[in-house]
Amino acid sequence: MYAFLTGPMLWLSFAIFVIGCAWRVVKYVKGLSWQLDRVPYGYYRELAWKGALKSIFHWITPYGSRSWRFKPLYAAAFFLLHIGLVIVPLFLFAHVMLVSERFGISWPTLPAGLADALTILALAAGAFILLRRFALPEVRIITTPHDLWIMAISLAPLLTGFVAAHQAGEGNGWLLAHIVTGEIWLVAIPFTKLSHVVLFFCSRAQIGVDFGVKRGGQRGRGIVW
Amino acid sequence: MPEGIYCNKTPITTEEALKALLSDTRGTKYYAEMEQLEVDREKLWATIQKTFKSRMQTWLDVCARCGLCADSCFLYLVNDRNPEQVPSYKIHSTLGEIIKRKGDVDGAFMRHAMEVAWSRCTCCNRCAQFCPHGIDIGVMMGYTRGLLYSQGFVPWELKIGAGMHRVYRAQMDVTTEDWVETCEWMAEEQQDDWPGLEIPVDKEDADIMYTCNAREPKHYPEDLAEAAILFHIAGENWTVPSEGWEQTSLSMFAGDWEACKLQVQTVYAAIERLRPKRVVGTECGHAHRATVVEGPYWAGRPDGQPPAPYIHYVQWVAEALREGKLKIDPAKRIKQPVTYQDSCNYIRNWGLAETAREILSYIVEPGYLVEMTPNKEYNYCCGGGGGFNGIGKFRPMRNKALLTKRDQILATGAKLVIAPCHNCWDAIRDLEEEYHIHIDWSFLKPLLLKMVIVPEHLLPKDEDSEE
Ligand code: SF4
Ligand code: SF4
Ligand code: SF4
């Protein structure tokens, strides 16, 4: 069982994740239409790149956009959740060890204490975001079951991983659960709202180009989007 | 009844049809018929398949439902934070639903969607600045309006407005003859005070071709005269086209993309015919958006540019002041608290916030400009944008929407609001009529005329001294 989950199943999950994401990006780019979108994608390359990168940069920087500064608490939760979901797994000692054992490549890892702290913070951030969904009428009205599922799918690998790492003694139930939930998460990415893993960069780049080239980017100080 | 006599899916293309629709006072019969209007579901879905592409599909798919857009929308704030006014909700409950159901929606749904599209969103694009994914609800609402229009679910006034553009190539029934006559009349009228002043029609290869808002020749021709005088003082070599002079687009508000294209092509044809070095548009925000920001795409110009450089009036004024073509008498600068209404369409959607401030630095005595909060690219819509001002059926909602601007203005303590946008100007006039806060509002032209230094040689010769 363990061998299957960490062998073929893991490969399959990664393959679905990578190919699925690539397919979403290709579909996105192919479906752009300069005339319908009213953006001159093919012109003013320099401005376009500048607009796209500026837009992405300001939104992946904590408090880099006016909106993040406007909602400090939510921004904190947002960044903590994403750090826990993206940065921690990539630099987790246990993960890096696995890769290095199999492929002989490795990279720096996070100190265990920090990884733990970030995981707990990410879980707390997830819980906060969930509670906020129900507490605020303006978020409740747009919440769908899909959003709850997505949160569950995303938090499950964190929670199971955390428990597995701290479980004293034998019994690899939690570890198995961690692997399974991690794989579910990977597979879900291309097919659900989690596709924003790649589509965030697409849509931010797109609006960056829109504003950088067409709506004001050529004049004045340019608008930070 | 699938289609009514007044309310149907056919655009207005003839003068008779236009008059017939106009005769239906306040659209009473029109809206009554709309109750029975049926949706052509197949056509709706076919249109969506052709036009609903990855940008909007992705916007709907990845919306994190985080609600960060809520506070960005003035309509949400001014309507007591009604969750139904959350931008994300507004689009998911209309366009999102149509897509989810593959166009299988009924008349009642479409009537509701019409109310949302025209009375709960002014397409001001402010929410796009606050969404982590860069989702622009205003753009999607514009698209939704197009779908609704194609099915006949459009407010009466905007069906007429789009029809006006189709029939007269102007938002009002101003014909070429009316327009040219108005130009001649205005030039003549100014002769005593401004000897040699002209409004040259169809002059080829001029430095500037000027275009305006049909309401100027129709309802306040002095605006045209003021533009002429200012060009005259600045010594510009300018012209207006006999055809293609109307820059606005109610069809854009209506979502009638075909009429938008017809309208903007008329202007571009004038540019190509007269070959001006550049074009200056009047003080109108949506006209600028229609003809300069979006128009090139309707007309199929892949570089997104009109045939000649095309600037908004504030760009011309700022340049004229900067280069000394217009000089302001320092003694006549504005010396009372004054504030500036940023028009979404040329500030947020064309980047002219600082250009507008440059003008203010010339015409307002330092210390008297009180900015609204928020302002510049983050301004709130005047409350009447996107066609909202003109729709009788939604007047109560529009009046409520004006409260945002009213309170912003009150907070500045200013008694004068400079509003170089027709639509904003109207909204501010209406808010004064509705709420009596005792303010004045003005375009730039009359203000400039009051304080500009007129060069000696342009002054009328004193007849006595000539003897
Ligand atoms: S801010 Fe953007 S992602 Fe969040 S709910 Fe609004 S539209 Fe959706
Ligand atoms: S475009 Fe403007 S009016 Fe429409 S939802 Fe966004 S902020 Fe509100
Ligand atoms: S009328 Fe003026 S403020 Fe209102 S939406 Fe249009 S441009 Fe913006």
Segment (H or E) for B211: strand B208-211
How far is B391 from B405, CA to CA, in rounded Å? 19
- Beta carbon of B131 within 6 Å of any ligand 1 atom: yes
Among B389, B423, B429, B430, the mutation site with the greatest number of ligand 3 atoms within 8 A of its Cβ is B423
Q: What are phi and psi of A71, to 5 degrees?
A: -125, 70
How far is B87 from B92, CA to CA, in rounded Å? 9
Query: What's the whole-number mean pLDDT along residues A125-153?
Result: 97
Residue A136 has pLDDT above 90, yes or no: yes
- Shortest alpha-carbon distance between residue B377 and chain A (Å): 8
How far is B153 from B114, CA to CA, in rounded Å? 6
Q: Does A208 touch chain B (CB under 8 A)?
A: yes
A216–B62 CB contact, under 8 Å? no
> Do B310 and B278 form a contact (C-beta atoms < 8 A)?
yes
Tell me what the pLDDT averaged over chain A comes to. 93
Q: Does A73 touch chain B (CB under 8 A)?
A: no
A144–B135 CB contact, under 8 Å? no
Q: Does A70 touch chain B (CB under 8 A)?
A: yes
The predicted pLDDT at position A6 comes to: 81
Residue B442, classed as helix, strand or coil, is strand
Question: Closest by alpha carbon to B140, among A192, A48, A38?
Answer: A38
How far is B164 from B172, CA to CA, in rounded Å? 6
- Shortest alpha-carbon distance between residue A102 and chain B (Å): 35
Give the ligand with the smallest distance to the CA of B290. 3
> Do B148 and B79 form a contact (C-beta atoms < 8 A)?
no
Q: Does A29 touch chain B (CB under 8 A)?
A: yes
- Beta carbon of B135 within 6 Å of any ligand 1 atom: yes
Tell me how far the alpha carbon of residue B57 is from its chain's centroid.
Answer: 28
pTM of this prediction?
0.96
> Do B332 and B449 form a contact (C-beta atoms < 8 A)?
no
Question: Closest by alpha carbon to B434, among B405, B413, B414?
Answer: B405
Question: Closest by alpha carbon to B166, among B242, B254, B241?
Answer: B254
How far is B56 from B43, CA to CA, in rounded Å? 19
Band (A39; pLDDT cuts 50, 70, 90): very high
Among B81, B86, B115, B123, the mutation site with the greatest number of ligand 2 atoms within 8 A of its Cβ is B123
> Do A211 and A217 form a contact (C-beta atoms < 8 A)?
yes
Instruction: Count how many residues are written for chain B.
Output: 467
> Do B9 and B38 form a contact (C-beta atoms < 8 A)?
no
- Beta carbon of B75 within 6 Å of any ligand 2 atom: yes
Q: Which two tokens stand for residue B239?
A: 């012209």
Q: Which two tokens stand for residue B379?
A: 């301004």
How far is B131 from B138, CA to CA, in rounded Å? 12
Q: Does B355 touch chain A (CB under 8 A)?
A: yes
- How many helices and strands (H and E) does chain A possess? 13, 0
B377–A36 CB contact, under 8 Å? no
Which residues are within 8 A (CB) of B18 and not within 5 positions of it... i.e. 6 or more apart?
B12, B160, B163, B164, B167, B173
- Shortest alpha-carbon distance between residue A186 and chain B (Å): 17
Q: Does A43 touch chain B (CB under 8 A)?
A: yes
The predicted pLDDT at position A225 comes to: 63
Q: Does A82 touch chain B (CB under 8 A)?
A: no
Residue of A nearest to B257 (CA): A36
Give B309-327 as a DSSP string: -EE-HHHHHHHHHHTTSS-
> Do A140 and A134 form a contact (C-beta atoms < 8 A)?
yes
The predicted pLDDT at position B387 comes to: 96
Q: Which of B47, B51, B60, B66 to probe by mutation at the A interface, max A CB count within 10 Å?
A: B66
pLDDT tens per residue, range B69-87:
999 999 999 999 999 999 9
- Tell me the C-alpha to C-alpha distance, in Å, between residue B253 and each of A17, B159, B161, B249, B290: 42, 10, 9, 7, 10
Q: Does B264 touch chain A (CB under 8 A)?
A: no
Residue of A nearest to B315 (CA): A219
Q: Does A219 touch chain B (CB under 8 A)?
A: yes
Q: Which two tokens stand for residue B115?
A: 């109310």
The predicted pLDDT at position B466 comes to: 47
Residue A27 has pLDDT above 80, yes or no: yes
Query: What's the whole-number mean pLDDT along residues A71-98?
Result: 96
- Shortest alpha-carbon distance between residue A137 and chain B (Å): 6
- Which letter does DSSP use for residue B291 in this model? I
Interface of B with A in 282-311 (CB under 8 A): 293-294, 297, 300, 302-304
Residue type, B119: S
* A19-24: long-range pairs with CB below 8 Å, 24+: A19/A190, A20/A187, A20/A189, A20/A190, A20/A191, A20/A195, A21/A189, A21/A190, A21/A195, A21/A197, A21/A198, A23/A190, A24/A190, A24/A195, A24/A198, A24/A199
Residue of B nearest to A208 (CA): B134
**Rg of the Cα atoms in chain A:** 20
Q: Name residue B211's beta-bridge partners.
A: B281
How far is B399 from B404, CA to CA, in rounded Å? 10
E strands, B256-376, where? Answer: 278-281, 310-311, 338-340
> Do B73 and B85 form a contact (C-beta atoms < 8 A)?
yes
Band (A216; pLDDT cuts 50, 70, 90): confident
What share of chain A has pLDDT > 70, as a percent?
96
Residue A108 has pLDDT above 90, yes or no: yes
Which residues are within 8 A (CB) of B24 and not within 5 positions of it... i.e. 6 or more apart?
B6, B30, B156
Residue A9 has pLDDT above 70, yes or no: yes
**Which residue in B62, B134, B300 is closest to A55 by CB distance?**
B134
Give A11 Cα–ligand 1 centroid separation in angstroms. 34
ipTM: 0.95
How far is B364 from B347, CA to CA, in rounded Å? 20
Give A205 Cα–ligand 2 centroid separation in angstroms. 21
Which atom of ligand 3 is found nearest the CA of B123? 5
Q: Which of B129, B252, B315 to probe by mutation at the A interface, max A CB count within 10 Å?
A: B129
Q: Name residue A112's beta-bridge partners.
A: none
The predicted pLDDT at position B176 comes to: 95
Interface of A with B in 137-156 (CB under 8 A): 137-144, 147
B62–A225 CB contact, under 8 Å? no
Give the ligand with the smallest distance to the CA of B139. 2
Using H for helix, E for strand and C for coil, what is the string for A48-87?
Answer: HHHHHHHHHHHHHCCCCCHHHHHCHHHHHHHHHHHHHHHH
Q: Does A32 touch chain B (CB under 8 A)?
A: yes
- Beta carbon of B91 within 6 Å of any ligand 1 atom: no
Residue B148, classed as helix, strand or coil, is helix
Look at ligand 2, atom 7, and give the residue with the nearest C-alpha: B73
B92–A141 CB contact, under 8 Å? no
Q: Does B10 touch chain A (CB under 8 A)?
A: no
Segment (H or E) for B208: strand B208-211
Sheet holding B440-442, edge to edge: B338-340, B416-418, B440-442
- Beta carbon of B62 within 6 Å of any ligand 1 atom: no
The predicted pLDDT at position B467 comes to: 41
Give B106-136 as a DSSP string: -HHHHHHHHHHHHHS------GGGT-TT---
B133–A29 CB contact, under 8 Å? no
- Beta carbon of B128 within 6 Å of any ligand 2 atom: no
Phi-psi category of B201—alpha, beta or left, where left has phi over 0 and alpha has psi -120 to 50? beta
Cis check: omega of the bond before B374, within 30 degrees of 0:
yes
B302–A195 CB contact, under 8 Å? no
Question: Closest by alpha carbon to B207, among B260, B109, B280?
Answer: B280
> Do B152 and B8 form a contact (C-beta atoms < 8 A)?
yes
The pLDDT averaged over each successive group of 10 residues in chain B (467 residues) is 90 97 96 97 97 97 97 98 98 98 98 98 96 97 98 98 97 95 95 94 98 95 96 97 97 98 98 98 97 97 96 98 98 97 95 96 97 96 96 98 98 97 96 97 97 92 56
pLDDT tens per residue, range A157-205:
999 999 999 886 666 789 999 999 999 999 999 999 999 999 999 999 9
